[in-house]
Amino acid sequence: MSTATIPLRTPLFRGDRRLRIALVGMPNAGKSTLFNAVSSTAPRRGRLAGTGRAYEECTVQIGLDEASVIELPSIASLHHLGEDDLPALKFLLWGDERPPISVHEPDGPPAPFAPPDLIVQVVDATRLESHLELTLELAQLGRPMVMALNMMDEAWDKGLHINVKALSRLLGMPVVPTVALMGQGIAQLFSTAVAAVRAAACPLPQPASKHICDSLQPLSRALNRQDIHTAFRVPHALLLMQVAAGDPYFHDELGQHFPQLLPQLQRLREDAARALPRPLEEEMHADRHHRAATLFEASARMGAPHEGRGWRYWLDELFLHPQWGLIGSLTVFAAVLFMVFEVSSWLDAMTSARLVNALAGWQPASTTGVVARAVADGLAGLVGIVVPYMLPLVLLLVALEEAGVMQRIAFVVDRGFHQIGLHGGVAVPFLTGLGCNVPAISAAAKVTSGRERVIASVLITFVPCSARSAIILALAGEYLGGTGVFAIFALTIILIALMGRLLARDRREFGPGQVQEIPPYALPHWRSMLAETWARTEDILTIVTPLLVGGSVVLALLHHVGADAAINALFTPVSAWWLGLPAVLGVPILFGVLRKELSLLMIYQALGTFEIGSRLDWVQITTFLLFLTFYVPCISTFAVMLKTVGRKEALVSVALSVGVALLVSGTVRLLLEGARLISV
């Protein structure tokens, strides 16, 4: 087996050394959309001290690095900020450390974390020229910067051509085109941000025009004092521009801390203004506007709106659009269901069904023969799970991943999964669970960690696998009709959502957000598909096979020695009293945990007929199906949970499953019985 070597870039930003990235931008630039795209399941919210404006912060995983991403309130300029906007600038300058000039202020530091290591300015590409004015101001902060050139799809539609490389060269900072709403360019943006911090690359200086710089030279010399720099702790270029523009905050602080200097500074401002054709503040604003327009003209041009789109664009519209993406996801979900319930059923009839028929005539009487038959039944059950249901389903999902479809679905459903404490990356394991919960839990363990892994594993046990779905379709389809089948599956979805919200109520232990990469579309390769399919299903041989065979042997021996009656009597409080079922269904209830795919056969055997409608009414059938749907999937699922989440969490999952199955099925039974009495 060949191995790939991945270079480790240092220093590694993790733990206490994680980066701090501030998202800054003008209103409606897409900051919130970008933040939500990478946010953890439990972002922290707060208010900047001294203001009513809120910020959001979360930890994000970027390859091997981590970063605290802070979404600041929108800001249009760094000059003449109001009371609500000023704390954002204070955070960018000082973070949780107060400079000497602010010790007299009643409020504490604006935010409870250090200033950012890097600023990501989110820019609306369709209004690039106006956003560049803020870029020129942010460049004076002296911190590494990356520009997220957002809404590039809208710029394309309007015929705006932006030369990203030219703009990056002129600004001296990385510029990354993005469409945050559809997840495009986000992975490149954050990897570029990490690289910019490692390189300590700050933007090129963007000084004012020469005539303004010349007129401000005396003021610059007057401010270039060590005591002033120590008191303010801001870059000299920024301090000069703020004082020259007559910014009220900086003017007041100078008056409080350097009152003897203030008259001189005011006189130098007036001298500078006399050398200019307009008032100093107006001249500086006009100059900034002119320089932004010059940058825009050097890096962008307007043309005719683009016409015609390739197939990749329309597929992205289907899979990545916030609304249409849900339809695309449901389409894939429908394809998975078709695989499970149509193609897999045909494969089942061609493989395991023939094995079962071949074994049907073998009815041994001796203990040795019974054990041998049980082993054969276990192996036949294994074939019935793997060949028709598991392999085709996993192969389909792997093909969709290699084609780039599943990553897009994961991005679209990410926000929905956040409501139950998970990321969209678990969408594939959840779909895999429709075939078998065992590889689904193994797949979830690879894309989650900590508390999220536990939640994903527990919720997947409630996803109706092929065996449970087959029982629902067989019984509900015949005796309850299509409405009954739909109601059971709908109740399953509702229960998974409610359980997720319940399990996610304590959000302190959740892991970082994920920067989901949207890969280009590609044709799957058979060799890699087969290798990945095997990697995801190899647990079947090591975990499921011995349990299936062992469970069959135990079940056969109990039946052979006549222990059925004792088991049924033991489970009478559950089967007869609470669930209202015949006591003879105790064995199917108990041993459904060993082999769900044999539950239907055990029901027929226990009732002594294939026409269970003659022995059970519609309320009893509904109750029994709900119990089997939410009851522990199988002992194989429990075994893989032991491996992935540990003994304690696996036992809690079993207890939760049994409790939910009893509560839901018993409650529904009482409601249906009450409704039946009322209707009589």
pLDDT of residue 275: 83
Angle, vertex CA 53, rays to CA 49 and CA 57, nearest 5:
80
Beta strand 19-25 with 54-62: parallel, antiparallel or unpaired?
Answer: unpaired
- Dist. CA 329–CA 320, nearest whole Å: 9
Q: pTM for the whole thing?
A: 0.80
Separation between Cα atoms, residue 96 and residue 402, nearest integer Å = 45
**Per-residue pLDDT, 418:** 79
Quick one: CA torsion of 7, 10, 13, 16, rounded to 10 degrees? 130
Sites in the chain below the pLDDT cut of 70? 1-8, 304-309, 385, 506-511, 540, 592-602, 604-605, 608, 610, 680
Render 224-245 in DSSP notation, one character per residue.
--HHHHHHH-S-HHHHHHHHHT
Which residues of the chain form CATH 1.10.287?
210-302
pLDDT at residue 2, rounded to an integer: 45
Note the pLDDT of residue 8.
66
The yes/no answer on whether domain 210-302 falls in CATH 1.10.287 is: yes
pLDDT at 608: 64
Q: Which of 611, 640, 477 is nearest to 543 (CA)?
A: 640
| Residue intervals in the chain for CATH 3.40.50.300 | 16-198
Which among 571, 560, 541, 506 has a CA at the least distance from the CA of 636? 541
Q: What CATH number matches the domain at 16-198, 3.40.50.970, 3.90.1150.10, 3.40.50.300, 3.40.50.1110?
A: 3.40.50.300
**Closest to 121 in 3D by CA, of 46, 196, 12, 59:** 196
Which pLDDT value is given to residue 1? Answer: 40
